[in-house]
Amino acid sequence: MTQVFDKNGLALPVTVVRVGPCLITQLKTEKINGYNAVQIGYSQGRITNFNKAELGHLTKNGLPPLSHLHEYKVLDTENYSLGQIINVNSFEIGQFVNVTGKSIGKGFSGSHKRHKFKRGPMTHGSKNHRAPGSIGPGTTPGRVFPGKLMPGQLGAKKITVSKLEVLGIDLKQNLLILKGSIPGKTGNLLNIVPAN
């Protein structure tokens, strides 16, 4: 993250994201597959990291081994072709996009940090400062219901940040400047799609 200044001199928080280049690896049509979609591949990997099915899927179309494949639904596949490169040219300044990625993992966390529970009284007689307290009824039903808010893994989940504005595009280095913050840490893999 960094900041840029607009025409009025206001400092805007922005995130600089490297986009692609990605290759279209498969076109799915409603006639054959039941829906229209394009499969996009990113980040060329070593051949030893792929099994025969994954390599065959890419080599039959004359494409290099790509580590990350993802499918995006589209209205029509006529404007796309196999091997077509997708990069920052697909975006425009002022456009709004949705960014999906894995959030930062924070490990095993207590119920106060994870679910924002309130603490107990801090007086000398209290023995319940940060404890979760009672977790269920007694004889009936004699168990704890599923979905109870308890301590556990915090973060490391798929998160979508909606309607981030594109403030700038660098065509030479394939950089996209988005207003605001995005999920995850530096080096995180993201899905960027136009917002409806």
Nearest to 184 by CA among 164, 160, 167, 163: 160
Q: What is the pLDDT of residue 65?
A: 86
Least confident of 27-31, 49-53, 92-96: 49-53
Amino acid letter, 191: N
Tell me the C-alpha distance between 22 and 26, whole Å.
12
Mean pLDDT of 125-142: 89
Q: What is the pLDDT of residue 110?
A: 95
Is the pLDDT at 136 greater than 80? The verdict is yes
Q: What is the pLDDT of residue 60?
A: 87
Q: Please, which pLDDT band fits residue 117 given cuts at 50, 70 and 90?
A: very high
Is the pLDDT at 174 greater than 80? The verdict is yes
Residues carrying CATH 2.40.30.10, the chain: 1-20+89-118+151-196
Is the pLDDT at 112 greater than 80? The verdict is yes
Is the pLDDT at 48 greater than 80? The verdict is no
Tell me the C-alpha distance between 171 and 168, whole Å.
10
Tokens of 94: 């002022």
Query: Which option is the CATH number for 1-20+89-118+151-196: 2.170.8.10, 3.30.70.120, 2.160.10.10, 2.40.30.10?
Result: 2.40.30.10
CB 183 within 8 A of CB 155: no
What secondary structure letter does DSSP report for 77? S
Q: What is the pLDDT of residue 154?
A: 96
Tokens of 127: 């023995």
Q: Count of alpha carbons within 13 Å of 107, Cβ hemisphere only?
A: 0
Query: Which option is the CATH number for 21-86: 3.30.413.10, 3.40.710.10, 1.10.760.10, 3.30.160.810?
Result: 3.30.160.810
Q: 191 — phi, psi (to 5°)?
A: -110, 125
- Please report the beta strands in the chain, taking only residues with DSSP state E, as ranges in sequence order: 2-5, 11-18, 22-28, 37-44, 66-73, 85-86, 96-102, 108-109, 152-153, 158-170, 175-179, 191-194
Q: What is the pLDDT of residues 15-24, one digit of tens each?
A: 999 997 899 9
Q: What is the pLDDT of residue 10?
A: 94
Q: Please, which pLDDT band fits residue 31 given cuts at 50, 70 and 90?
A: very high
